[in-house]
């Protein structure tokens, strides 16, 4: 399952998902509490501090974070995650 989260409201997430044809659910973290816990919230002195950092997590079947990513190349990122997922599946 793939989930996304942003600091936008549910209505803003719906508009964004509809516009870009997202095939997965976007969750709203408007109060930024989840972003704070997962290290996605930028510091007040950082540029673009109104936006979450681009981070993602590969979570194993037991609900543990198997890998954390700071996403610098959004186009290449899905392939990286799929490669890691295959490695984890072969390791178990």
Model confidence at 30, in pLDDT bands (50, 70, 90)?
Answer: very high
CA dist., res. 44 & res. 21, Å (int): 32
| φ, ψ dihedrals at 56, nearest 5° | -145, 165
CA dist., res. 81 & res. 65, Å (int): 13
* pLDDT, average across residues 8-27: 93
* pLDDT, average across residues 4-25: 92
* pLDDT, average across residues 4-19: 94
Structural domain boundaries enclosing 26:
3-91
pLDDT score recorded for residue 67: 93
Look at the chain and report how many structural domains it folds into.
1
pLDDT at 92 over 80: no
pLDDT score recorded for residue 72: 92
- pTM listed for this prediction: 0.76
CATH of the domain at 16: 3.40.30.10
Pairing of strands 25-28, 3-6: parallel
CA dist., res. 15 & res. 49, Å (int): 22
CA dist., res. 60 & res. 92, Å (int): 11
CA dist., res. 21 & res. 26, Å (int): 12
38-69 pLDDT, tens digit per residue, is 999 999 999 998 889 999 999 988 889 999 99
């Amino acid at each position: 399952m793939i989930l996304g989260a942003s600091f936008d409201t549910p209505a803003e997430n719906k508009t964004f998902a509809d516009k870009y044809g997202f095939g997965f659910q976007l969750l709203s973290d408007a109060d930024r509490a989840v972003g704070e816990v997962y290290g996605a919230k930028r510091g007040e002195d950082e540029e673009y501090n109104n936006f979450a950092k681009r981070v993602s997590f590969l979570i194993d079947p037991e609900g543990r974070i198997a890998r954390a990513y700071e996403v610098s190349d959004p186009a290449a990122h899905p392939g990286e995650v799929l490669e890691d997922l295959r490695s984890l599946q072969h390791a178990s």
